[in-house]
Amino acid sequence: MPRLRTVFFGSDAISIPLLEWLAGEGAAQVAFIAIYTQPDRPVGRGQQVQPNAIKTWALAHGLPVLQPEKITPAVREAYAATSPDLALVMAYGHILRDDFIAIPPLGTLNFHASLLPKYRGASPIQTSVACGESETGVSLMRIVRRLDSGPVADREPVRIEPLDTALEIEKKLSSVCAPLLARNLPALAAGTLEFVAQDEAAATFCRKLTKADAALDFSASAAVLAARINGLNPWPAAQVEHAGQPLKFGLADAVPGAAEPGIVAGADACGLLIGTGDGLLRVRRLQRPGGRLLAAAEFLRGCPLPAGTRLGGGPLSPLVAKMPFPVVKPGV
């Protein structure tokens, strides 16, 4: 079988294991002709302009890197001139128009980090954890102009364990993209891979997270709050107010017990215990301003929170809807 002339579109390190497979074991079937990624951006506290992980990987492997600010007609023409057989997309960050999507004869395929049709949108990893799901996964789908609505060829499920944060789930999802592609690539190359329309009635949507999503409402149950805390780690990081300062929570679970919502009930060997609307919230990792995220026992040695301490919270913002959240479209 001739090697497929393949272009990859992505801007996030979640794609690195997939790229490693394509450049290694998958190279017998795939020939990279270019990598498209976002322009270099300011990052970190110093706001120094740096390349993202995808560009760094591509340059290290001697691959052409293109970083258009917008997908203009000129960009489309240059892309078409490379005559790609296949385009693969994961967390790219640009909206692709129909005429762009249609260029590769084998299609433009996306790796979406949820078990579609659930969690279409910008934050499927964080939202699936924050909503208390026990399973998520990666869906291999055709891109269409409607948000994550294209037909799906295959899915690779991933278990969400009770103490998994969004960071751990991202790593798990990152590791399953290559096996997902590997088992579907022969049929894709032969033109026999079947794509099945999503069940629109079962679709749910998530959105880009903001710092406002960090608030916790202690009248909710401990299970709901623990899921929210774990899903928002590492960003925007759930937080409460203590002594006029923000206090971040990085890992939590729910345990039996009762206390007034928002009141510290004590601590055990694993974490700080806080009253909620149903059960006790056990916070296992905490961080104060300017500090590091610490295990609860270490944190409490330097910043005691005795029983009876009241912690301030706020309303839980909705993370999921049956219709797409309003968004401001980037220029394309």
Question: What digits encode the pLDDT tens for the residues 256-270?
Answer: 999 999 999 999 999
Q: What is the DSSP string of 186-205?
A: HHHHHT----B---GGG--E
Residue 113's alpha-carbon distances to 96, 144, 267, 313, in angstroms, are 18, 16, 36, 30
For tokens 């970083």, the residue is: 67
pLDDT for 45 equals 77
- pLDDT digits 0-9 by tens, 185-211: 999 999 999 999 999 999 999 999 999
Question: Residue 95: is its pLDDT beyond 90?
Answer: no
> DSSP code of 114?
S
Domains and CATH numbers, the chain: 4-205 (3.40.50.170), 216-302 (3.10.25.10)
3-state secondary structure of 36: strand
Measured in whole angstroms, how far is the alpha carbon of residue 231 from the centre of its chain?
10
Give the closest residue to 38 by CA, choosing from 90, 83, 111.
90
Tens of pLDDT, residue by residue over 214-229, are: 999 999 999 999 999 9
Tokens at residue 298, please?
Answer: 């270490």
Q: What is the pLDDT of residues 164-190, one digit of tens each?
A: 999 999 999 999 999 999 999 999 999
pTM (two decimals) = 0.94
- Distance between CA atoms of 221 and 204, rounded to whole angstroms? 23
Buried b (16+ CB within 10 A) or exposed e, 103-118: bbebbbbbbbbbbbbb
Exposed, middle or buried by CB within 10 Å (0-12, 13-18, 19+), for 226? buried
Tokens 């939590």 correspond to: 252
User: Does the N-terminal peptide bond of residue 117 adopt cis geometry, omega within 30 degrees of 0?
Assistant: yes
Phi, psi of 154 (to 5 degrees): -165, 160
The angle that helices 16-23 and 53-60 make with each other, rounded to 10 degrees, is: 20
Supply the mean pLDDT for the chain: 95
pLDDT reading at 81 higher than 70: yes
Report which residue type is found at 327.
V
Tokens read off for 145: 């102009």
- Asked if 166 contacts 229 with a C-beta cutoff of 8 angstroms, the reply is no
Residues 155, 184: Cα–Cα separation, whole Å: 10
What's the CA gap between 124 and 250, in Å, rounded? 19
Please write the tens of the pLDDT for every residue from 247-257. Answer: 999 999 999 99
Instruction: Indicate the pLDDT class of residue 331, thresholds 50, 70 and 90.
Output: very low
Count of CB atoms situated within 10 Å of the CB of 93? 14
Tokens for 274, please give them.
């806080």
pLDDT at 38 (0 to 100): 96
